[in-house]
């Protein structure tokens, strides 16, 4: 009998989010005509990939590989739910013979062993999640996603302040406003876009120097950038 290889841990929330973002970006680049049906929840993105394949073969393959990652994440979530259901049943003294039938297993012993495997898998996933929470990169991603609405609002306020920024005559600042407008045009609330906007906010403040504090929208964007940099430490 071949030795069983330990399975890889489930993807982190950041990896799941990145996979969804990558799928969408590829579909946009490929000119997918069905994107009006897109939803960026992982489960719906997974279904979309497998149902809408009127895109080049290389896009289908890369999307399918990201879909496998999403399936791993969904499987880990289902494991946790299955364990909770089993624990509720056992707490109320549902016999293992009944649970074996519900699980489609051949014996009460197999059902009991199934619970043991689920406990081990869920405990390992929780342990890894705790380690991920302490990872500065994961904390940074979590901050940008949690504050996405504020970042977008700050960018929109800067666009409304373009006349004030133009009045400074600062060529670098004017060019940066064009970059911010382009980023907002393709906005999808992704971590990558949030980081890009925050970097543009920082560069805008540097370009304007002392004048930055005299324009409220620039001042707000600079304060938001400072808050982000503090959270990432």
pLDDT in tens, 70-123: 999 999 889 999 999 999 999 999 999 999 999 999 999 999 999 999 998 888
Average pLDDT, the chain: 87
Q: What is the dihedral of CA 225, 187, 162, 146, to 10 degrees?
A: -30
Question: Is 3 domain-assigned?
Answer: no
164 plus 122 within the same structural domain: no
Question: Is 214 domain-assigned?
Answer: yes
Domain boundary, last residue among 134, 161, 179 = 134
Question: Is 78 domain-assigned?
Answer: yes
43 plus 64 within the same structural domain: yes
Query: What does the pLDDT look like over 3-12, one tens digit per residue?
Result: 444 566 788 8
Question: Is 124 domain-assigned?
Answer: yes
User: Would the pLDDT of 27 be above 80?
Assistant: yes
47 plus 147 within the same structural domain: no
pLDDT interval class at 232 (50, 70, 90): low
User: Would the pLDDT of 231 be above 50?
Assistant: yes
181 plus 96 within the same structural domain: no
Mean of the pLDDT values across residues 59-69? 95
Predicted pLDDT at 1: 36
| Whole-prediction pTM | 0.56
* DSSP symbols for 30-64: TT-TTGGG---SHHHHHHHHHH---S-HHHHHHHH
Question: Rounded to whole angstroms, how far apart are CA atoms 205 and 4?
Answer: 56
125 plus 96 within the same structural domain: yes
- Which residues lie closer than 8 Å to 138 by C-beta, 6 or more apart? 12, 14, 132
Predicted pLDDT at 127: 73
Domain boundary, last residue among 95, 117, 134 = 134
147 plus 102 within the same structural domain: no
Q: Which of 51, 41, 2 is nearest to 20 (CA)?
A: 41
pLDDT interval class at 136 (50, 70, 90): low
Predicted pLDDT at 154: 94
User: Would the pLDDT of 124 be above 90?
Assistant: no
35 plus 111 within the same structural domain: yes
Query: What does the pLDDT look like over 139-158, one tens digit per residue?
Result: 777 788 778 889 999 999 99
Question: Is 1 domain-assigned?
Answer: no
* DSSP symbols for 76-127: HHHHHHHHHHHHHHHHTT--HHHHHHHHT-SSHHHHHHHHHHHHHHHHHHHH
Asked if residues 34 and 54 have their Cβ atoms less than 8 Å apart, the reply is yes
- Structural domain of 227: 139-231
Predicted pLDDT at 9: 75
Tally the domains of the chain. 2
First to last CA, the chain: 50
65 plus 144 within the same structural domain: no
Q: Give one word for 93, left, alpha or beta, with left for phi > 0 and alpha for psi -120 to 50.
A: left
61 plus 173 within the same structural domain: no
């Amino acid at each position: 009998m071949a030795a069983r290889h330990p399975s890889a841990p489930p993807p982190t929330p950041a990896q799941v989010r990145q996979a969804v973002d990558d799928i969408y970006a590829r579909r946009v680049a490929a000119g997918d005509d069905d994107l009006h049906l897109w939803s960026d929840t992982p489960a719906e993105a997974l279904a979309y990939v497998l149902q809408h394949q009127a895109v080049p073969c290389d896009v289908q393959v890369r999307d399918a590989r990201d879909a496998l990652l999403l399936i791993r994440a969904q499987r880990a979530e289902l494991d946790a739910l299955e364990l909770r259901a089993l624990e509720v049943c056992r707490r109320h003294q549902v016999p293992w013979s009944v649970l074996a039938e519900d699980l489609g297993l051949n014996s009460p012993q197999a059902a009991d062993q199934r619970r043991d495997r689920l406990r081990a898998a869920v405990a390992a996933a929780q342990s890894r999640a705790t380690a991920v929470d302490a990872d500065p990169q994961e904390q940074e991603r979590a901050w940008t996603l949690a504050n996405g609405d504020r970042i977008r609002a700050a960018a929109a306020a800067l666009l409304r302040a373009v006349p004030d920024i133009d009045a400074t005559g600062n060529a670098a600042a004017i060019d940066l406003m064009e970059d911010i407008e382009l980023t907002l045009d393709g906005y999808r609330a992704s971590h990558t876009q949030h980081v890009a906007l925050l970097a543009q906010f920082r560069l805008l403040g540097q370009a304007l120097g002392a004048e930055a504090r005299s324009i409220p929208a620039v001042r707000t964007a600079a304060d938001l950038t400072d808050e982000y940099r503090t959270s990432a430490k």
